[in-house]
Amino acid sequence: MKRPKRNDPCWCNSGKKYKKCHLRSDESGETAPPDTAGGQGRKPTVTAGKISPLLQVPGEIAVPEYAGTGTPGGRGRSCRKESEGEISGMRHAGQIAREVLDTVLAAVEPGITTNALDEIAHHAATSRGAYPSPLNYMGFPKSLCTSVNEVVVHGIPDSRKLLEGDIVNCDVTIYIDGMHGDCSETVPVGRVSREALSLVQVTWECLLMGIDVVRPGQLFSEIGRVIENHAVKHGYSVVREFTGHGIGGTFHMTPYVAHFYEPANKALIEEGMTFTIEPMINSGSPGCRIWPDNWTAVTEDLALSAQFEHTLLVTETGAEILTGGRNPWFLKG
């Protein structure tokens, strides 16, 4: 396959003209379009499909502040939970988020569309009295994020069917009783390659290692240190553009939780904090590109990416996983 002309769309599906995207790196030999330069380049496996209209939420369900306007609020709030009522609310939100995620994951199979998974997530949330937090958050048009293969994060469910050999991260957040709960998992679509299996397993290990160092008085940077060390040891890279975050009555709040080492970050973990750890690990370079939809982030070299996420409560001695549940698929049996 020949390289695109300068003003043609780039081969990486970024939506940019080739001259403003991969032209320079292709000419320098850093990357290559599909089937050129000895096969070093990769062809996109995911392209944008048709997006269906927003699903409706029953009127009796309490909604977050952005549900109507798309504009989030609550900045400046603390993620630290002081009362038993707040902690109980977070536990409940985490439990419901886990139930919704498990319902979605059970439906993943070759031939199903990501839009169908979104409908499942929407119904699973609303039938439990919860609002699907992504819906209209800063204008996001769906109730679930589905990130397939080279999509790192914030994939918009659409008409694309999942194919045998894909991997897909399903990211669920729900809002109930004034609190958000957030979790995600990467699962296979049928049989997957050894490359994909290894990446997903190491990503899961990265999440567990990050959780294991959480305790009052610990540096937040220690989370990133252990995650990055483990990923790099296995030949992978850590996404830097997206991080974990504080969570509670507000979907996203401080602190941000880097999954790479930041020695200058001297922020300390405190008892009562609730936040997510959600490492995004790439099999190639760590960089991302954003599609024209302004949401979908893909690996800059179109290599595979995987992610796992839990919402945590910092206890006196460590971390309580609020979105815990069954073991991931590769640990079964």
Statement: residue 179 has pLDDT above 90: yes
Side chain identity at 225, as an amino acid letter?
R
Statement: residue 231 has pLDDT above 80: yes
Peptide bond into 263 cis (omega under 30): no
Report the chain's mean pLDDT, rounded to a whole number: 91
Contact in structure between 216 and 267 (CB atoms under 8 Å) = no
Statement: residue 59 has pLDDT above 70: yes
Residue ranges of domains in the chain: 85-331
The 10s digit of each residue's pLDDT in 100-123 is 999 999 999 999 999 999 999 999
Output the pLDDT for position 321. Answer: 98
For the chain, give the percent of residues with pLDDT over 70.
88
CA-closest candidate to residue 308, choices 217, 218, 211: 211
**How many other β-carbons are positioned within 10 Å of the β-carbon of residue 198?**
17
CA-closest candidate to residue 51, choices 124, 151, 141, 132: 141
Statement: residue 290 has pLDDT above 80: yes
Confidence of residue 10 (pLDDT cuts 50, 70, 90): low
Q: What are phi and psi of 174, to 5 degrees?
A: -130, 160
Residue entry with tokens 């994951």: 105
Statement: residue 29 has pLDDT above 80: no
Quote the CA–CA distance of 88 and 245 in Å, as a whole number.
20
Across 242-253, b (16+ Cβ under 10 Å) vs e yields bbbbbbbbbbbb
Q: Is 202 helix (H, G, I), strand (E, B) or coil?
A: helix
Residue entry with tokens 């890279």: 237
Confidence of residue 183 (pLDDT cuts 50, 70, 90): very high
Contact in structure between 290 and 297 (CB atoms under 8 Å) = yes
Q: Which residues contact 37 (CB under 8 A, 6 or more apart)?
A: 26, 29
How far the first Cα of the chain sits from its last, in Å, is 44
Output the pLDDT for position 38. Answer: 28
**How many other β-carbons are positioned within 10 Å of the β-carbon of residue 1?**
10
Q: What is the CATH number of domain 85-331?
A: 3.90.230.10
Q: What is the mean pLDDT of residues 235-246?
A: 97
For the chain, give the percent of residues with pLDDT over 90.
82
Quote the CA–CA distance of 211 and 257 in Å, as a whole number.
12
Q: What is the mean pLDDT of residues 317-321?
A: 97
Confidence of residue 325 (pLDDT cuts 50, 70, 90): confident
Statement: residue 35 has pLDDT above 70: no
Structure token pair of residue 310: 């839990």
Reported pTM: 0.87
Output the pLDDT for position 73. Answer: 83
CA-closest candidate to residue 302, choices 153, 145, 200, 149: 149
Quote the CA–CA distance of 24 and 125 in Å, as a whole number.
46
> Among 72-81, 174-183, 274-283, where is mean pLDDT lowest?
72-81
Confidence of residue 330 (pLDDT cuts 50, 70, 90): low
Output the pLDDT for position 41. Answer: 59
Structure token pair of residue 102: 């498990």
Q: What is the mean pLDDT of residues 227-246?
A: 97
Structure token pair of residue 174: 């729900």
Confidence of residue 75 (pLDDT cuts 50, 70, 90): low
Output the pLDDT for position 25. Answer: 60
Quote the CA–CA distance of 163 and 183 in Å, as a whole number.
23
Statement: residue 160 has pLDDT above 70: yes
The 10s digit of each residue's pLDDT in 303-315 is 999 999 999 999 9
The 10s digit of each residue's pLDDT in 132-141 is 999 999 999 9
Instruction: Classify residue 212 by its DSSP letter.
Output: H
